[in-house]
Structures are given as structure tokens and as C-alpha cells.
Amino acid sequence: MAHAQEIQLQIRGVPDEESVHEDGRDGSKAATRRSTTRGSFRWWMTVAVDMLMVLCGTTVATLLGRLYYNSGGNSKWMATLTQSGGSPLLVIPLLMTPAPSAEEHRPAASKLWPIYAGIGVLIGFDNLMYSYALQYLPVSTFSLVAATQLAFNAITSRLINAQRFTALIANSVMVLTFSAALLGVGSSSDGTSSTSGAPRGKYPVGFALVLAASAAFALIMSLFEATFEKVIRARTLRWVLSMQMYTNLVASAVSVAGLLASGDWRTIPAEMAAFRDGRARYVLTLAGTAVAWQAAAVGMVRLIARVSSLFANVTATLALPLVPVFAVALFGDRMTGIKVVAMLMAVWGFLSYVYQHYVDGRRARSDELLPA
């Protein structure tokens, strides 16, 4: 996705990804130059909307997930279900999308369903690890450690998606990894393990779980990109919604199976009755979390389809300065000096990648001006 030719298409202003297919990447330069400045503006505006969905959805979902635990919720499987359980809502926008054209590539169902099932199972267990980690860590620490998913994604993008690994991207990987390590080293002295109701002594477990979940999430994103690139070979909104909905339905089935097998379902009535501010707040908290996660996930998948999994993951790191600030205000988390330094390092890593994207864009523009 980060190859120079595709970057050229994006910067020159392909009117929308709805019309960009795999078999159209090798079009003539003359056809490409016919794209207008308005088309380019439209493309960047849609990317900006996707980024906003990721930022708002991730921030709201993380804060509501923490609110669920702080208000008396304790079912990890229920918290896991909220991360994928809102997927049936995607039927509504899916029915409103235009029907596929006759020329659009349509992969066989025998290829797609194993992909949906495999990625869906990975998503289900990845959500479970995040649920445990969110209970064991303060939300500010959780969000900052989760930044390592960008470092992991740089590796999986290189191995699976042939992403170029430049010095700037390597710098981003090292800075973000060191940022997470700094939080781990300073956890014993900053008092975060007992802040905001996080269980004492569970900080190391939560730290390990969020690292494992971040690595799994990076793998999932690269698999999404590979599916769009090699199997679907189309980047329409219909395919984005279909990928998101079917994989999350499988993940929801995993969560429901775990909820039933673990016996957590028996505790839900008592948990609802004991929830702070009543049953209605319990239902609204879970429903809001489910909707927010789906909004963030759709934005992520759209960015994967439009640009790359690494770009989508970089966008997710933009939520890092937002979540800890809201967590301090809402949950009383301590914004210690170590967290501030780690957050600044995470921003540094993010800017390093953004600059690499800017360099690639300048290079693509220069290639466009070269004679055929």
C-alpha cells in the first residue's frame, strides 16, 4: 500500500477510493493527470473524516470501558463482547451503499469465509486480552502502552505487506517501544498500580496483556490490508463494511461462547443491579462502548483500504494525548512525570512517521513531473 505508484494516485487526487481497484493501478499517466484539485481535496477530506472516527471512537470507547469497571462491572467476557457486539448495526449503512458494478472484482465465497473466520477469531481473543488489561491498568497507562501496536505493526507490515522500512520508521518503532518500556520500569514507583481501582499487584499482568494484544492487533491490521490487496482487490465502502461486519460477527460469536462457557452470564443480573447509578446506566454504558468501538473500527478499516495498515495505526496513536487527559479529569488518574515523558516520546514517534509520509509524498510528486 505504501508503494510509490499508489502514493502518487493518492496525492494526485483520485476522486474516491470507491472507484480504485487493483486492476486500475497501472493506468496511463495521462489518465491519472486528468484528476482535478477538487478530487484531491475530496480524497483528503474523506481521509480526515476516517481519522476523526478513529480518534473519537477510540477515546470514547476506552473511557467508557474504564467506566464500566469503575462503576461495578466485572465481566471480562461482557467487556469483550462490547468491542465487537455492535457489528450488526453495520447492516444499516451496508444496505445504503450502492450495489457493486458488473466490472468489480468479486472473490469467491470459498476464499472469503475462511478469512472472515480466521481474522474474526483473532479479533475475539485480542479483545479479551484488551478487556483484562483495561481492568488491571489505569486508563492513561493502558492507552500509552497500547502505542506499541504501531511498533508491532511496522514489523508485520514489512513482513506481510512489503512496507518500506526507512530510518524514520525505524526511529518511530524504537521511540514508541522505549516509551512503553519506560512506563513498565516506572510503574512500581508512580503509584499507578493502585490508582482508579486497578487491582494491586495486577499491573505486570495488565502490562503483559496489553503488549500481547497490541502485537495481535498489529497482525490483524496487516491481514486486513493483505486481504484488500490480494483477495478482494477493491476498496469500496461496501467491502470495508462487509469485512468489518463479518469478522466482528465471528468475534462476537467467540465472546458469546466464552460468556456462556465461563458462567459469567449468571452474574449479569446481579452486576446490573449493583451497577452504580442503576440498570439504565449499565445498559447505556455497554451500548455506548459498542457503538464507539464500531465507529473507530470502521474508520480504521477504511484507512487501511485507502492508505495502509501502518497509516491507520499511526492515526490511532493520535488518541494518546486525548485519553490520559480525559482519564485524569474523569477517573482521577495521576499524570506523573514518567507518563508525561512517555507521552511526549509517543508523539515524537508519531511525528517521525508523519514526516516519512510527507517525504514519500514529495518524492511521488517529483516522479509525476518527470517526462514519460
| Whether the predicted pLDDT of 188 surpasses 50 | no
Contact call for residues 84 and 252 (beta carbons, < 8 A):
yes
Residue 370's pLDDT is: 58
Contact call for residues 235 and 21 (beta carbons, < 8 A):
yes
Counting residues of the chain whose pLDDT is more than 90, the rounded percentage is: 27
Residue 8's pLDDT is: 35
Contact call for residues 132 and 209 (beta carbons, < 8 A):
yes
The winner for highest mean pLDDT among 141-145, 148-152, 172-176, 244-248 is: 244-248
Residue 104's pLDDT is: 74
Min mean pLDDT across 171-175, 198-202, 267-271, 291-295 is at 198-202
Residue 184's pLDDT is: 56
| Whether the predicted pLDDT of 51 surpasses 90 | no
> Residues 6 or more apart from 140 whose CB is under 8 A from it?
192, 323, 324, 327, 328, 333, 335, 339
Q: Which residue has the cell 478482494?
A: 232
Residue 197's pLDDT is: 54
What is the pLDDT averaged over residues 75-93?
91
Coil, helix or strand at residue 13? coil
| Whether the predicted pLDDT of 73 surpasses 60 | yes
| Whether the predicted pLDDT of 13 surpasses 50 | no
| Whether the predicted pLDDT of 351 surpasses 60 | yes
Min mean pLDDT across 44-48, 182-186, 209-213, 285-289 is at 182-186
Question: What's the mean per-residue pLDDT of the chain?
Answer: 77
What's the whole-model pTM score?
Answer: 0.75
Using alpha carbons, select from 7, 277, 351, 297 the residue that is nearest to residue 126: 297
Q: All 3 cell numbers of residue 266?
A: 449468571
**What residue ranges do the domains of the chain occupy?**
48-191+201-368
Contact call for residues 215 and 173 (beta carbons, < 8 A):
no
Residue 297's pLDDT is: 92
Question: How far is residue 125 from each of residues 13, 130, 131, 268, 290, measured CA to CA in Å?
Answer: 39, 9, 10, 21, 16
What is the pLDDT averaged over residues 255-259?
92
Exposure b/e, 272-299, CB count within 10 A at least 16 = b: beebeeeeeebeebbebbbbbbbbbbbb
Residue 9's pLDDT is: 35
